[in-house]
């Protein structure tokens, strides 16, 4: 879908894709980034859950794996995002914004803080007061990390994004040192709100993403991606 030059508030197409294998969602992101390079595109937000997987940042080593790669319980991918190793699994809501930051602010620190703000506002709706940790990226409750952020920005087009632990099985994190942080555990929203589900949290994330980035969200059919 093209851009409307007469729109005063930018539109953001939201795709609620359900459970998607990591490699498939990664390929979608790269295809959408290429579309931005080929010509004007609307901002997009892909929302998914992944079956169990581990991902490494572009410059990360294997030092934060507690087992050899072939002994990990789930597949391992090296990606172009920043940051160290992390884990995705069912019960974790993953958001991949494909944004043109020239429409927002061409400032990577600003973008990271905006993603954190989306998560902080989302958790606040469930009575959980999350904060930032100085010098670190992500969202925390005390010393417990509830959400991770890792991005890639090229020509001011974003990919990768955020992962909020809603109600996952956290045992998959035991095989790694998440984000290379040794002294702070990983937690989930379900530890504070036992009945919470990804389906409950997803629209709250969309609402706050739209407010923080100043966009109008439109829910789109996956077929419109035409990938």
Question: Cα–Cα distance between 48 and 93 in angstroms, integer?
Answer: 6
Distance CA 69, CA 158 (A): 28
Helix (H, G, I), strand (E, B) or coil at 72: coil
From the list 22, 1, 26, 4, the residue with the least C-alpha distance to 80 is: 26
Token pair of 123, please?
């958790």
Measure Cα distances from 175 to 23, 53, 119, 166, 168 in Å.
21, 11, 25, 20, 15
Q: Which listed residue (89, 167, 179, 193) is catalytic?
A: 179
Determine whether 6 is exposed, middle or buried from the number of CB atoms within 10 Å of its CB (0-12, 13-18, 19+): exposed
Assess whether 179 carries a catalytic annotation: yes
Residues with catalytic roles: 179
């Amino acid at each position: 879908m093209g851009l409307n030059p007469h729109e005063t508030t930018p539109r953001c197409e939201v795709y609620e894709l359900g459970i998607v294998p990591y490699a498939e969602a990664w390929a979608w992101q790269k295809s959408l980034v290429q579309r931005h390079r080929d010509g004007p595109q609307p901002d997009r937000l892909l929302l998914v859950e992944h079956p169990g997987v581990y991902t490494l940042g572009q410059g990360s080593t294997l030092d934060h794996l507690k087992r050899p790669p072939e002994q990990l319980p789930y597949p391992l991918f090296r990606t172009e995002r920043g940051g160290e190793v992390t884990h995705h699994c069912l019960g974790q809501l993953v958001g991949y914004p494909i944004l043109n930051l020239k429409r927002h602010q061409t400032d990577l620190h600003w973008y990271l803080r905006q993603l954190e703000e989306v998560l902080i506002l989302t958790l606040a709706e469930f009575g959980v007061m999350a904060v930032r940790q100085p010098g670190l990226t992500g969202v925390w409750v005390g010393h417990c990390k509830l959400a991770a952020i890792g991005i890639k920005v090229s020509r001011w087009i974003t990919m990768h994004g955020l992962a909020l632990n809603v109600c996952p099985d956290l045992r998959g994190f035991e095989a790694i040192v998440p984000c290379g942080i040794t002294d702070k555990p990983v937690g989930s929203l379900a530890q504070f709100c036992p009945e919470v589900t990804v389906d409950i949290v997803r629209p709250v994330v969309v609402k706050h993403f739209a407010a923080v980035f100043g966009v109008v969200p439109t829910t789109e059919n996956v077929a419109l991606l035409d990938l």
